Structure 1
Amino acid sequence: MRTRRVGASGLEVSQLGLGTMTWGGDTDLPTATDLVTTFVGAGGTLVDTAPAYGGGAAEQMLGRIMRTTLNREDVVLATKAGFGVRDGHQVIDTSRKAMLNDLAGSLRRLRTDHVDLWQVHAWSDTPLDETLAALDQAVRSGMARYVGVCNYIGWQIGTAATWQEAVPDRNRLVSAQVEYSLLARRAEIEVVPALKHHEMGLFAWSPIGRGVLTGKYRTGTPRDSRGGRKHFSWFVEPYLEERSRAVTDGVARAAEGLGLTPAQVALLWVRDAPGVTAPLLGARTTEQLQAYLGLDDVRLPEPIIAALDDITGGPNQGRAPAHRVDADA
Structure 2
Amino acid sequence: MTDSSQSIATTRRAYRLTPADRGLRLQQVREAAPTPGPNEVLVGIEAVSLNYRDLLVLRGELGPVREGLIPLSDGAGRVVATGVDVTRWRAGDRVAPTFYRDWVVGPYREAYGPSALGGGDTDGMLADLVVVPEASLAPVPDSLSLEEAATLPCAALTAWQALVVRGGLAVGDTLLVQGTGGVALFGLQIASAFGAKTIVLSSSDEKRERATKLGAFATVNYRTTPDWDVEVRELTGGLGVSHILELGGPDTFDRSLRALAAWGHIAQIGVFTGFGPHSNLMRLQLINGTIDGINVGSAEQFEAMNAFLAEHLIRPVIDRTFSFDETQAAYDELASGRHFGKLVIRL
**Could you tell me the TM-score, scaled by structure 1's length?**
0.28
**More helix by percentage:** 1
Normalized per residue, which structure has more strand? 2
